[in-house]
C-alpha cells in the first residue's frame, strides 16, 4: 500500500520561529505563574489562616492544570477532525495527523490528571475523589489510551479506518468532560470560571491566558516534531 507523506507549508525558518516563540512563552508563563497572585476562590468555612494560606498557594497549580486540559481538548479535537477527513478522502495524511495528535493529547491529558491529583492531596487530603468531573476526565484519558493501543494492535490494512471511527466516537467524551463541572454544580472540583471561582483579577486572567498560549505553542511544536518522525518512519518503510 502506498504511503502518503504528511507535509507542512511552514518553511524551516518559520518552524524555527515557532520553536523560539514556544521557549520564550514557556519561560514567561512559568515566571508569571510563580510571581503573579495565586488564584483566589472563596474561602471555605472552618479553615484556619494557616490552612487557608496553604490552600491558596496550592491554587497556583491551576496555572498549569488548566492549560494542560485545554491542550488535551485541542489535540483530541484535531483527532476528531482528521478522522472525519480520512473517512471522507481515504488520504493517509489525515490518519497520520490524527495519530500524531492523539499521542500528544494522551500525554497532556495524563499530566492534567496527575497535576489535579497532587492538588487534591493538598486541598482535600486525598489524591482522588470520584466526582463527575474527575471520573469523566479519567474516562477521557482511558478512551484515548485505548485509541493509541488500538492503532498498535491492528494490521496496517484496517488500522486507519478503524482508528478513524474510534477517534470520532471517543471525542464525545470531550464535551462531556468540559460540561460536567457546569451540569453537576454540587461537586468538590472547583469551577474557576464561575462567580467566586478566583480568576476575577486581571493579572490572574493574563497569567492564565499566557500559560494557555504557551502550552498551545508547545503542542504545535511537539506536533511538528511528531509529524516529522512519522514521515521519517514512512521513508524507512515502516507502517504508520
Boundaries of every domain in the chain? 12-41+59-235
pLDDT digits 0-9 by tens, 99-108: 999 999 999 9
- In words, the CATH class of domain 12-41+59-235 is mainly alpha
Nearest to 147 by CA among 135, 134, 160, 137: 160
Please give the Cα distance from 49 to 135 (Å, whole number). 31
Mean pLDDT of the chain: 81
Q: What is the 3-state secondary structure (H, E, C) of the chain?
A: CCCCCCCCCCCHHHHHHHHHHHHHHHHHHHHHHHHCCCCCCCCCCCCCHHHHHHHHHHHHHHHHHHHHHHHHHHHHHHHHHHHHHHHHHCCHHHHHHHHHHHHHHHHHHHHHHHHHHHHHHHHHCCCCCCCHHHHHHHHHHHHHHHHHHHHHHCCHHHHHHHHHHHHHHHCCHHHHHHHHHHHCCCCCCCCCCCCCCCCCCHHHHHHHHHHHHHHHHHHHHHHHHHHHHHHHHHHCCCCC
pLDDT digits 0-9 by tens, 71-109: 999 999 999 999 999 999 988 889 889 999 999 999 999
**What pLDDT, on a 0 to 100 scale, did the predictor assign at position 233?**
66
pTM of model > 0.75: yes
Lowest mean pLDDT among 116-125, 172-181, 230-239: 230-239
End-to-end CA distance of the chain: 11
Q: Is the model's pLDDT at 120 over the cut of 70?
A: yes
Question: What's the CA angle centered on 144, arms 141 and 147, to 5 degrees?
Answer: 155
Question: What's the CA angle centered on 68, arms 65 and 70, to 5 degrees?
Answer: 110
Q: Is the model's pLDDT at 194 over the cut of 60?
A: no
Burial group, residue 187, by CB count within 10 angstroms (0-12, 13-18, 19+): middle
From its phi and psi, is residue 239 left (phi > 0), alpha (psi between -120 and 50) or beta?
beta
Instruction: Give the other-Cβ count within 10 Å of 179's Cβ.
Output: 13
pLDDT digits 0-9 by tens, 51-66: 555 666 677 888 899 9
Q: Are 74 and 222 in contact (CB under 8 A)?
A: no
- φ, ψ for residue 211, nearest 5 deg: -65, -40
Please give the Cα distance from 115 to 147 (Å, whole number). 23
Amino acid at each position: 500500500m502506498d504511503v502518503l507523506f504528511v507535509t507542512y507549508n511552514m518553511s524551516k525558518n518559520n518552524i524555527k520561529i515557532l520553536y523560539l516563540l514556544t521557549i520564550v512563552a514557556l519561560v514567561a508563563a512559568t515566571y508569571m505563574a510563580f510571581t503573579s497572585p495565586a488564584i483566589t476562590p472563596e474561602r471555605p468555612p472552618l479553615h484556619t489562616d494557616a490552612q487557608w494560606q496553604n490552600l491558596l498557594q496550592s491554587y497556583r497549580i491551576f496555572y498549569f492544570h488548566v492549560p494542560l486540559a485545554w491542550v488535551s481538548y485541542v489535540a483530541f479535537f484535531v483527532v476528531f477532525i482528521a478522522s472525519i477527513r480520512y473517512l471522507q478522502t481515504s488520504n493517509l495524511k489525515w490518519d497520520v495527523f490524527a495519530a500524531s495528535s492523539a499521542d500528544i493529547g494522551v500525554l497532556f491529558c495524563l499530566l492534567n490528571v496527575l497535576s489535579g491529583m497532587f492538588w487534591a492531596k493538598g486541598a482535600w487530603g486525598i489524591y482522588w475523589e470520584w466526582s463527575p468531573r474527575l471520573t469523566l476526565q479519567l474516562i477521557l484519558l482511558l478512551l484515548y489510551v485505548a485509541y493509541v493501543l488500538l492503532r498498535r494492535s491492528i494490521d496496517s490494512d484496517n488500522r486507519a479506518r478503524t482508528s478513524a471511527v474510534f477517534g470520532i466516537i471517543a471525542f464525545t467524551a470531550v464535551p462531556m468532560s468540559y460540561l460536567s463541572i457546569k451540569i453537576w454544580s454540587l461537586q468538590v472540583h472547583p469551577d474557576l470560571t464561575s462567580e467566586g471561582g478566583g480568576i476575577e483579577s486581571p493579572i490572574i486572567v493574563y497569567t492564565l491566558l499566557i500559560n494557555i498560549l504557551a502550552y498551545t505553542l508547545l503542542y504545535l511544536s511537539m506536533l511538528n516534531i511528531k509529524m516529522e518522525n512519522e514521515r521519517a518512519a514512512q521513508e524507512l518503510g515502516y507502517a504508520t
